[in-house]
Amino acid sequence: MSLSNPKTLSRLSKSGIQKNEFEKFLGFESELTLELLRAQGMNIILHNDLYLFETLLTSVDDTLFCIVDVESNGSKPARDQIIEIGAVKLQNGHILDTYESLVYCNSISSQIQEITGISVEQTLKAPAMGKVMREFRLFLGDAVFVGHDAKFDYNFVSAMMERVGLQKLLNRSLCTIDLAERTIESERYGLKYLNEQLELYKEATHHRALSDAMTTTKLLKRTLALIPHTIHNSEELIAFSKEAKRLKRPKMKKVEKIDKDEK
């Protein structure tokens, strides 16, 4: 058994694992190990003699979502870095809090500066990566990590956490591209395109972290209103976003050039 094994994660997210079996797997200091996992965002609880993800027992409405967007100076987490992060906490349809920060960086290409509007002069005055990641780790807590192309944002944040000496992320995650593809008929699913077509966030500034996180929050709310009534908890929601059949895309009315930098 391994916590990175898909079968183990599936059991924790669907049926749970017997107390004795899971504690034996964790080893002698099982309580300490559990606390460390929870500190990384993996909220495993004991319920009716079973260890499982708390999200299996949490209704979609009551789920705490943290909608995250990052801007970076490149596409490779191992080589590049976050230059801005923005996040929105959402629960029961209400925005509870937001987080936003530029990150110290002394190298941003002219192309990235043009796309984001973030200059080296700005990031040279920004807080250090360590400070920002520690603040964000506390802000995120054990919320479900949501992103538009969640894998990109999740991997970057996790890599930056490890870069400054923190543990990698273990939060449950949800991608709004996946969710939108199963609830909204659209020719394309880039955030900018959906924002324009659905009129999600009129004040949006594309490729600025908090603005994109806010647009994604509004998209999440729109998709949650369209999910089947048979989905009750957040684990069922995550499974639906990955496993349900994608809606058939309508034929494009005309050939359009796709913006390569559109997420």
What pLDDT was estimated at residue 80?
Answer: 98
Is the pLDDT at 34 greater than 60, yes or no? Answer: yes
Residue 198 has pLDDT above 80, yes or no: yes
pLDDT recorded at residue 158: 98
Asked whether residue 261 carries a pLDDT value surpassing 90, the answer given is: no
* The pLDDT value given to residue 254: 54
Mean pLDDT for 105-126 is 97
The whole-number average pLDDT for the span 156-162 is 98
List the beta strands (DSSP E) in the chain.
Answer: 17-18, 44-47, 50-53, 65-72, 82-91, 94-102, 144-147, 173-175
Domains of the chain are 6-56 (1.10.10), 65-243 (3.30.420.10)
Query: Please, what is the Cα angle at 135 between 132 and 139, to 5 degrees?
Result: 130
Residue 256 pLDDT greater than 50, yes or no: no
Q: What percent of the chain has pLDDT over 70?
A: 95
Could you report the per-residue pLDDT of 162-181, keeping only the tens digit for each?
A: 999 999 999 999 999 999 99
Asked if 233 and 59 count as a contact pair (C-beta separation under 8 A), the reply is yes
Residue 3: the pLDDT is: 84
Contact 210, 98 (CB under 8 A): yes
